[in-house]
Structure formats: structure tokens, C-alpha cells
Structure 1
């Protein structure tokens, strides 16, 4: 006996994949852009059948969970810097290509920003050179891997092989040879290595990490883009005169350090950036009672205090707020609703001091009335 679900199935727009495997990375690179759900008024929502309302709300939930990447000034600057490094690395195979290290605090969106650059560069290279290599293989200009705690060279080489779908048996050298063959055959020109601070364990000395990263640059004829937290604090890019410091200096000479800054509201320019970000996000929310200024004016200080200017914390807060607004029929974001939304521990821990400064009039996220600029957001 057939049911309504059999006749009219609905899977939604969830996209479950791992970008650390080639099939998942291809889905991230080539997947279609999501279509923003239709904005319905309360009256239009009331006119929907129960099943239609369930579907509409499901579309809104997945949409709000996947807003972005947003072209913030920080993201655009990072992309420009990465392009300068990657696209100038046209060195022959006998020369070591300089690397990039994106080192920033957690929660600033650095992994998302770097993957977004990798996606753009991947698509550009395929458009330029075609989907297939001269040898008949799939062209894979960029790959993405993420490390886990206490990764050694063998584990790193295995992660690269695993991305390509190659066997992960053998010692470190065997895995390296296998991975290099794939890099050359598939014309890979950049490897993104996320969570590089896990390399060799958090308690290892910086020279050991530098030695492993130097090994990578010697073995793989690609631009290496490292992404991590607190890597420079280990002294990995410093110069010196001891044997250990000489090794660090060699790595430092081959690596350009990049970063992402949080949003700050100490100056007028920073407040303008924050307002533009909130206007951009606000425009993408699909709530029946959304109104101009809901985020960028009414919740500006509130959202800054609760996110401390960290992009990931802000987006998690807004996503969960929208979910609560949809589920409860509130259909807007306000402080009363948002007070019931839980956020990450780091943001919540820093919230009280910022909120106190804002309430005392010592700090504000809102630009001065006479300096608000018109923006496309």
C-alpha cells in the first residue's frame, strides 16, 4: 500500500559529505549554490497545509545553518594574499615552492575562508585547463586534509592517500611515494592542511614540527597551505643561530604567515564593518517578521557582546536563534528570544565583561549617526 511519503518524497537540502575525501571535496567544489527559500508572511504561512509548512520550515532550517561564506573584508584580504602566494608559485619541480600559514584564533572562520579560496582556485583551474589531464586522469588542482591529535609523518602521508582513495598500508616513505604519484598524475598544485597545530602533538618542540613541514615542502611539488592555531607562538618562524633555530629559520624563510582578525568596535571603521556584516546576514534570513535593522541596529550591541566579534560564534548564535524563532512561531530575532539560545563556551565566558562595558556606555558597536555609509548589503 503506497503512502504520501512514497508518492511525494522529500529529502531536503542536507548535504552530508567529508571534504577530506575526494568525493566529498568534489561535492563542496562543484555543488550548486543553495537557493534561498521564499519569504512568506505570517498569513501565507497560515495558508500552507501542515505538510507544506513542514517542508518550508525544513528548507529554512538548512538554509540558516549554511549561510555563507560571507565576503567580509577579512575574507577578501585573506583570499588576495593566498592568491598572491599560490598563483605566483609557478616554479619548476626542482625548486621548493613557498608555503602559506594561516594562523589565527579559533572561531574566526579561517578554515571556511581557506576552503572557499581552494574551491575558487579549483574551479578556475578546471575552467582554464579542462576537467581531465593530458594523461586522461581527473584534474584535481587542490586537495584538503585535516589532521588529528599527535599526527606523525606517516599519519600525514596516510591522510593524503586517504583523500585520493589510495591504500594507506606501508611505512611513511611508501605512503609518500604513493601520494606524490597521485599529486603528479592528477595535476594537484595546492594542498590545504588544516589543524596543522596537531602535527607531532601539542607537547612536541617547534623544531620537530618545522622538520616535518620542511619534509613536506621537499617531497610534494605543490603550494602547501597550512591552517592552524597558535603555530607561530611555538617560535616556528623565528630565526637564530643554534642548530635548532637554523632549522626553524629555513622553514620561516619558506613560509608566509597570514591571519584573520576578529571584528573590533574600538574604531569607527570597525563599527562600520560590523554593521555591514549584520546587514548582509539580515538580508539572508528567512523569517516572516524580519525587518530592516533587526540585526544591524536593534541587536548590534547584543550580538557583539555574545559573539565577542568572532564570526563562528556569531553565525552559530544566529542559526540557533532562527531555529528557535521558526520552531516557536516567533518569526523574528530579539533579545528576549536570543537570551534562551546557548552559544559556545568561549563566547559565553567573555560575554559578561563586554556586555557590562556596553551597558555602561563605554563601548558600542553602532557607527555614529553621521558616519553610517551606504552599502550594497
Structure 2
């Protein structure tokens, strides 16, 4: 999954991971908090990664101690063994643009990651910023990675048609249903006025919408109101990428006006 910063790549990947983990635990007949399995592995690629840095990051995620004398292949052997025992079947690799394959350490790290994922019977999701323009998919190593992956270009939601607005409302409704608030009236965020407002605030970004509603919900819990409304949303400070795209004019109103002019 590729796209600009803040568009919601990590949010999408983690939602996919949560859904996959829930399904796999149900298949195995295990409760959601059972420590016997870990269907999903989530890894954030550190900047300037070396093969050992990558393997140690995974080992720490699963709680595997790494003796100082272990090299990257040894750590990988133990990590793979543990993940097979934990029945890991999905691997999410975030911030993968940090792998600089035009440098020897980065190329070695990418090769190690490729070997690691091939040793597990697991679906692999790579997330990163503008991956088609990064070193990761360039050169010989890049060709090997491209031959084994499909690129999904993650973009912001548009709002210029009735179908686009309907898709945006469905997204808002899905996130609203997840709000852990006792007094929040379900459906209050999907009215035309509020869906316009939310799109204007976030520019159609899934990540910005998630942060906006999440921060508003936290504030609602702390203040005791237990609901998200326009006043509470106005108090949330958003990321600068979303702020730069904000507008005060309702998008549905502008699109409807444009369509009327076209008809005339």
C-alpha cells in the first residue's frame, strides 16, 4: 500500500490485521486474549535498518530474547520457529520506505526481509510513502520485489459526486460505530451537514478522520459528555496536511451548484 503521508495506510493495514486476527482466532476456537497464538505480526521498519536490526525488531515484538552473539540468520531462524508456533499468517511491514536499497546495508536488509517472509506461510502487507518513487522498488532488488507484489495506491476520498459522498458517509458511519461512548447518538455524524464538515476538516483522509474522531472521543470521555459533536470536533487540532486542505464552504453545496451551472 503506497500513498502520501497521513492518507491512512497504517490505519487501513491495522484494521485489516484486526479483522484477520479476529477471524483466525474464531477458526481456532480461541478467545480474543488467548496468548497461544499471534495471527498477525506488525513491524515498523527502523530508519537505516540493517538485517540484524530488522530481525531484532521482530524478536522484540514477539518477546523473544536475543543474546548479543546472535547474527541476523540465527535470529531469523529462532523468530521463524516462534512465529510458526504462534500460527502467524499475516505480516504487516510499515514504514517500508525506510529501506534504502541503493545502499549496501539497506539492500541487505531488504534481501533479509524478503527471505524472512518467504519462510512463512503468511500474507505480507507492505506500507510506505510513495513507494513507486522510492529506492525500495529500484534496481535489481526492486525488480524482485515488484515481481512478487501488487501495489495499491491509497488516495484520499473524493467528494465531487453523489457516489463519492455516499462512500465517504459509509466510512464515517463505520468509524462512528467504533466510538466507545455511552451517550453518543448513532448516526449524528452522517448527516449531510456533519459529513460535509468532516470532509472539509480532513480532506478525505482516512488517517486524519480516524485521528479527529479518536481525539474528540477521548476528550468526550475526560469531560464526561460521552458524545462527539461539532463543538467537540472544533476543539481538536489536526495534522498540518489536513489543515492545509481545509475549506469553510460545504463541499456538497459547491458540487451541487457546479452541477446546476453545468445544466444551465
Shared topology, TM-score over 0.5? Answer: yes
Distance 1:249 1:205, change over 3 A: same
TM-fit CA distance, 1:280 = 4.5
Could you tell me whether the CA contact under 8 Å between 1:316 and 1:343 is conserved in 2?
yes
Listed one character per residue, the Cα deviations across residues 279-315 of structure 1 (whole Å, up to 9, x for unaligned) are 4455666475858555422222222111111122223
The structural deviation recorded for 1:193 is: 1.7
Q: Indicate which of 193, 204, 211 corresponds to 1:316.
A: 211
CA contact (8 A) 1:141 1:187 kept: yes
Match for 2:19 among 102, 109, 120? 120
Matches of 2:185 and 2:21 in 1, distance apart?
37
How many angstroms does 1:187 deviate by?
A: 4.0
User: For residue 347 of structure 1, what is the aligned residue in structure 2?
Assistant: 242
Structure 1 window deviating more from structure 2 (337-346 vs 146-155): it is 337-346
Q: Secondary structure at the match of 1:299?
A: helix
Structure 1: state its 5+ residue gaps. 1-101, 132-136, 239-244, 369-377
Structure 2: where are the runs of 5+ without partners? none
CA contact (8 A) 1:104 1:259 kept: yes
Is the CA contact (8 Å cut-off) linking 2:156 and 2:204 kept in structure 1?
A: yes
Is 274-283 or 253-262 further displaced after alignment? 274-283
Superposed displacement of residue 253, structure 1: 0.5
Residue 318 of structure 1 and its aligned partner are, at CA, apart by: 3.0
- SS of the residue aligned with 1:149? coil
Residue 174 of structure 1 deviates from its aligned partner by 2.6
Counterpart CA distance in 2 for 1:140 and 1:284 is 23
Cα distance 1:118–1:331, how it changes in 2: closer, same or farther (>3 A)? closer
For the aligned residues, what is the CA RMSD? 3.8
The alpha-carbon deviation at position 254 of structure 1 amounts to 1.4
Name the count of aligned residue pairs: 248
| Structure 2 length-normalised TM | 0.74
Mapped contact 1:207–1:247 kept (Cα < 8 A): no
The answer to whether residue 130 in structure 2 is matched with residue 230 in structure 1 is yes
Instruction: Write the distance in 2 (CA, Å) between the matches of 1:207 and 1:185.
Output: 33
* 1:307-331 residue CA offsets vs partner (Å, 9 max, x unmatched): 1111222233234445556738696
Change (3 A) 1:214 1:257: farther
CA 105–129 in structure 1, closer or farther in 2 if over 3 Å, else same: same
Distance in 1 separating the partners of 2:22 and 2:224? 41
Deviations 1:153-177 (A, max 9, x none): 1110001111222222332233223
Relative to structure 1, the CA distance from residue 184 to residue 297 in structure 2 (aligned partners, 3 Å threshold; closer, same or farther) is: closer
